[in-house]
Structure 1
Amino acid sequence: MTIRVRPRAATDLDACARLLIEVHGTDGYPVEGVADPVSWLTPATAAGAWVGELEGAVVGHALVGTPTATDDAARLWKEREPLAQILVFGRLFVGTAGRNRGVGERLVRTAMTFAAEQEQRLVLDVMDKDKAAIRLYERLGWQHIGTTTHHFGQGNRTEAHCYVAPS
């Protein structure tokens, strides 16, 4: 099967929303839930978004955005590198049809290339429960820069690991 990664188009949002609902059902990602998937996929901070396709069907998604005051990974990296130019990587998910086929890796590498072309470093946080994602980032050379507590919903929290992409 041929994997294709391309910039996300507005016409992809419905397929991405359905895929996100599937992933939330199987993996509990995102921990905040999927009450409004299209809004979650289109934050005001977005700088780039991509979809992964297999045989023309959208099976994965990734997004890069500008940091906000609530981005723990951005805060941690700025403490180490105050002048760092950074973007935040996130909203990476791959549905069951795209798993174990390299779709997630291709999406991450695409975002890494995008950031490098912008002369930016990527940072991210990943929930402790998302072991497959953690293994992927570490295999691709991302450096663990700290652990935080991610707060969501009505008083819920979980441990999150923060990473910076290789330079």
Structure 2
Amino acid sequence: MKPVVVRPFEADDLVGAARALVEVHETDGYPVEGVEDPRAWLKSDDVLAAWVAEVEGEIVGHVSLMRPQGEDAVSLWIAQSGDDEAHVAVLARLFVVQAARKHATGRSLTEAAMAYARAQDLRLVLDVMTKDAAAIRLYERLGWRRIGEATHHYGSGQSIQAVCYVSPEA
């Protein structure tokens, strides 16, 4: 595979990122929501910053930092740390198409988001579905610390278990 380039998300990336999101959903069942209108899910007004991974101009991955919206990981971190919501962001919408895995693509995307958060004095939190073992391994390898568990509710009354993490200190 050619080199993976990670760079900030641009408006022209929306179509390619949406296509990659739908592909990841078909192979992995991630995300559990958002694929009905992937462009809207990726271009939410709550996105603080986002990055894409590309190979020869094709989008193969994505990650974003989001403003807190009442996520369990945010509440858990604030309760445990005494931090305030203005200094917390949510790492979200991380996905990599199957063909680009095993090339540190997820790691590179996550590290770009972490570097940005440090520069903005933001502490990152996230929740990850317990079924997504590869994502859990990635976060733990990068030094993220487990801070609790949650039930992620989505769709029409559906739910799935999740684990909440906080990024390492700068």
TM-score when normalising by structure 2: 0.95
* Aligned equivalents of 1:159, 1:8: Cα separation in 2: 30
Name the counterpart of 1:107: 109
* Aligned equivalents of 1:82, 1:130: Cα separation in 2: 29
TM-score when normalising by structure 1: 0.96
Name the counterpart of 2:159: 157
Q: Residues 43-86 of structure 1: CA distance to partner in whole angstroms, max 9, x if unpaired? A: 111110000112332110000011012x1111110101222411
1:59–1:94 contact (8 Å) kept in structure 2: yes
Unpaired runs of 5+ in structure 2? Answer: none
* Aligned equivalents of 1:30, 1:137: Cα separation in 2: 17
CA RMSD of aligned residues (A): 0.9
How many residues are treated as equivalent by the alignment?
166
State the percentage of identical aligned residues: 51
SS at match of 1:154: coil
1:33 Cα deviation from its structure 2 partner: 4.8
Q: How do 1:1-167 and structure 2 match up within 5 A?
A: 1-69=2-70, 71-84=71-84, 85-167=87-169
SS at match of 1:90: strand
* Aligned equivalents of 2:101, 2:83: Cα separation in 1: 37
Q: Following superposition, which runs of at least 4 residues in structure 1 exceed 3 angstroms of deviation?
A: none
SS at match of 1:136: helix
1:3 Cα deviation from its structure 2 partner: 1.7
